[in-house]
Structure 1
Amino acid sequence: MNEKRYEEGQKVMWLTVFLNIILGIIKIVIGIVYNSNALVADGIHTMSDVLSSIGLIIGFIIAKKPRDLDHQYGHEKAESISALALSLLLIAVGLNICYSSIKQIISISDIVPGNLAIIAALLSIAVKEFQYQISIRVGKKIQSSALIADAWHHRSDALSSIAALIGIVGSKLGYSFLDPLAGIIVSLVVIKTGFDIFKNSYNELMDTSLDTEILSLLIDKISTHKDVRTINDLKARKHGNQYFVDVIIAVDPDISVAMGHKIAVDVENIVYQNINAKYVLVHVNPCCNNENIDCSNCSHIISDLVKEKLKK
């Protein structure tokens, strides 16, 4: 399954690389020929996207590698690192757009770009929005933070092209200030998107847990097992698009080791069936050998979340 999701993600990224090369060349050439500085800058920006996409592809190649002696939990975090790097790139792009727009306000040019520059800007908007749509759809499907980050990068490029279009049309109508004004608005959107992606990828690298709602769902599901007296603890941490889950349960102390193992396997399967877990570790504790005693009062440490859930 992981191999397939990485292949699907790489196909989308290679498609965006090809489209960005073609689109970047078109915008730069038309921008130079028809005197549109905004279009030339937008074209250079598009060509720089090729490097970021190739970086994400490399991240996918590393992430899909099987575990080895040096990385015994796998390489999936390479995907989160790629997303983090792209988020920083988005923030830098946003700041650069803002800086360029402020400079343009200070010194507005009287050069009026040609009509073909408008067509090139419209083409850029259409292609970038197409890249956003396919990237966000596949990114959500395969639960890839890196591909979702790349999708928002494409959306920021579409917004940048809209700003360029406004600037071109504004210059032809005599309202040159519209270009830098639109650029500042776009820069704020890009910077915010970059910070949002940074936060998500940072949390993944910091072993963020599952949402409380999903943890509560797992507690409910595991608690329905007839041989599980109580859940002493349940923890999960994100690893790429998957989770490592640790569960501590209490069972009848008089059952055999084989029976205890069977219960642990049942609990593992419950977790695998409800979340995208890469590895589940179940530890079995002996509980009070009295069905009339509330096992939640056992001496084992019980997490606050489980305590709260057991009270309901």
Structure 2
Amino acid sequence: MHPHERDHGHSQDRDHSHGHGHSHGHGEHGHSHPTPPGFKGFFYGIFVPHSHDAADSIDDAMEAHSEGIRALKISLVLMLATTVVQAVIVAFSGSVALLADTIHNLSDALTAVPLWIAFVLSRRVATRKYTYGFNRAEDLAGLFVVLMIALSSIVAAYEAIDRLINPRPMENIGWVIAAGIVGFLGNEAVAVYRIRVGRKIGSAALIADGVHARTDGFTSLAVVVGGIGVLLGFPQADPIVGLLISAMIAVLLVGTVRSVGRRLMDGIEPELVDRAEHALDHLEEIESVERVRLRWVGHRLHGDAILRTGPMTLTEAARLADKAEASVKKHMPNVDEMAVRVTAAAPGV
């Protein structure tokens, strides 16, 4: 199962010798999700609250797939219910603006469909053509969500500028405010749920979709603020708040692009590499960890490691490789595969 070799002249990708006389906190396996610093971090914190939820809370791949699909189903029902309530308000108010917002929320609710398809595809077994399986479809769906967030920012900015240049009186203000509140609450509930489940199973695409719902919720909230501004005799409040929301979405988009783009480029959070090395550090037979590589495939992790040990037989090396793989999976249950190669000194050296 694992390739092993005896090698005296190996190249060290990194010099990572480990002592075994230290202790670590093994009870906490959560990793952090760094918040961008400064101005970006302020707005990023508004839309995506920091969480200490581990991305390895679910150790079974099929269970993680199922929970992701369940989150999409429930959130889709919530968004459709929100759209129906807004449609009823539109029928009472006859507001064209509310009709446009309702149609917008309906189209945003349907962005969950590509991600749903990706989760279903990820459950298919690998084939001779797709030997790594279909989990990467999830990352492609995340890219689609990023494009939708960008489109939301552009549309919001365009509508705000158009209202500044061509002011239009806001009718049925009370109904407009009511529909905005409904839209905000519905989108925020969906956002909280998707982000929580996304962090739990380690899905950047599901988190991005939650962020998308949150941006739409704040857009609806901007409608509320604008309506209140009109009631207070400041009609320009609506487009001005719209521009501010558009700018906040654009700032948020930068962090989301980095997160999804890192997955597509096989980037990995450094703390996860540290955790894998920490898991290998438990094994007394290992003299040093020559290399550890990890990458996300959808919301699951695949990786490999090269270990250096003292003199041992091929049988002992094979047994150690299995032991090392088991240790990594114990510390990181969302790791599906961890190929380990043991480089052992020849007996008598």
Q: Same fold judged by TM-score > 0.5? A: yes
Matched to 1:282, the amino acid is: V
| Structure 2, unpaired ranges of 5+ | 1-59
Say which of 313, 330, 333 aligns to 1:256. 313
- Quickly say closer, same or farther: Cα 1:166–1:68, change in 2 above 3 A: same
Query: SS at 2:256's partner residue?
Result: helix
Query: SS at 1:109's partner residue?
Result: coil
Q: What is the aligned length?
A: 289
Aligned counterpart, 1:236: 294
1:266 equivalenced with 2:323 (yes/no): yes
Distance in 2 (alpha carbons) for counterparts of 1:25 and 1:226: 62
Computed over aligned residues only, the root mean square deviation of the Cα atoms, in angstroms, reads 2.1
More helix by proportion, 1 or 2? 1
Query: SS at 1:248's partner residue?
Result: strand
> Offset of 1:270 from its aligned partner?
1.6
TM norm structure 2: 0.76
Distance in 1 (alpha carbons) for counterparts of 2:182 and 2:157: 23
Query: SS at 2:266's partner residue?
Result: coil
1:1-312 to 2 correspondences below 5 Å: 1-28=60-87, 30-31=89-90, 33-34=92-93, 36-211=95-270, 213-253=271-311, 255-275=312-332, 276-287=334-345
Contact 2:119 2:138 in 1 (8 A): yes
- Quickly say closer, same or farther: Cα 1:127–1:144, change in 2 above 3 A: same
Distance in 1 (alpha carbons) for counterparts of 2:346 and 2:135: 40
CA distances 1:166-187 after superposition (whole Å, capped 9, x unpaired): 2223233332111111111111
Contact 1:238 1:244 in 2 (8 A): yes
> Offset of 1:29 from its aligned partner?
5.1
The runs of at least 4 consecutive aligned structure 1 residues that moved more than 6 Å come to none
Contact 2:75 2:190 in 1 (8 A): yes
| Structure 1, unpaired ranges of 5+ | 292-312
Matched to 2:213, the amino acid is: H
Work out the percentage of aligned pairs sharing the same amino acid: 24
Matched to 2:198, the amino acid is: G
Contact 1:39 1:164 in 2 (8 A): no
- Quickly say closer, same or farther: Cα 1:6–1:73, change in 2 above 3 A: same
Contact 1:36 1:168 in 2 (8 A): no
- Quickly say closer, same or farther: Cα 1:43–1:62, change in 2 above 3 A: same
Contact 1:218 1:271 in 2 (8 A): yes
Query: SS at 1:229's partner residue?
Result: strand
Distance in 1 (alpha carbons) for counterparts of 2:251 and 2:124: 32
> Offset of 1:114 from its aligned partner?
4.3
CA distances 1:222-242 after superposition (whole Å, capped 9, x unpaired): 244222232222222222222
CA distances 1:14-64 after superposition (whole Å, capped 9, x unpaired): 222223233224434534653544423321210111321111111111122
Matched to 1:198, the amino acid is: V
Distance in 2 (alpha carbons) for counterparts of 1:290 and 1:242: 41
Distance in 2 (alpha carbons) for counterparts of 1:209 and 1:109: 49
> Offset of 1:131 from its aligned partner?
1.3
Query: SS at 2:307's partner residue?
Result: strand
Between 1 and 2, higher relative CO (CA 8 Å, sep ≥ 6) is seen in 2
TM norm structure 1: 0.85
Distance in 1 (alpha carbons) for counterparts of 2:179 and 2:195: 24
CA distances 1:100-146 after superposition (whole Å, capped 9, x unpaired): 10000111112432423322222222222111122222221222212
> Offset of 1:206 from its aligned partner?
1.0
**Greater C-alpha Rg:** 1
